[in-house]
Amino acid sequence: LGNTRFKSSTNRTPRQSTPGTPGERRKLRLELKLLADVGLLGMPNAGKSTLIRAVSAARPKVADYPFTTLHPQLGVVRVEGDRSFVMADIPGLIEGASEGAGLGIRFLKHLSRTRLLLHLVDVMPFDGSDPADTARKIVRELERFSPELAATPRWLVLNKIDLLPEEERDARCAAIVGELEWEGPVFLISAVTGEGTRELVFAVMDYLEANPLRGQAEAEQERPRWEP
E strand residue ranges, the chain = 38-41, 73-80, 83-89, 116-122, 154-159, 186-188
Query: Alpha-carbon distance 116 to 162, whole Å?
Result: 25
Contact 125, 131 (CB under 8 A): yes
C-beta contacts of 97-101 below 8 A and 24+ residues apart: 97/141, 97/145, 98/141, 98/144, 98/145
Q: DSSP string covering 190-202, please? A: -TTT-TTHHHHHH
Contacts of 187 (CB under 8 A, 6+ apart): 155, 156, 157, 158, 196, 199, 200, 203
pLDDT for 45 equals: 81
Superfamily of domain 38-210: P-loop containing nucleotide triphosphate hydrolases (3.40.50.300)
The predicted pLDDT at position 142 comes to: 83
Domain ranges of the chain: 38-210
Q: Distance between CA 136 and CA 76 in Å, rounded? A: 29
Per-residue pLDDT of the chain in tens (228 residues, 90 and over written 9):
678 888 888 888 888 878 878 888 888 876 655 578 999 988 888 888 899 989 987 765 444 444 444 567 888 999 988 899 999 888 766 555 445 555 555 667 777 888 999 999 999 988 888 999 999 988 888 888 888 988 999 999 999 999 999 999 999 999 999 999 999 999 999 999 999 999 999 999 999 999 987 655 444 445 555 555
Are 109 and 90 a contacting pair, CB within 8 Å?
Answer: no
pLDDT at 105: 59
Question: What single letter denotes the amino acid at residue 109?
Answer: K
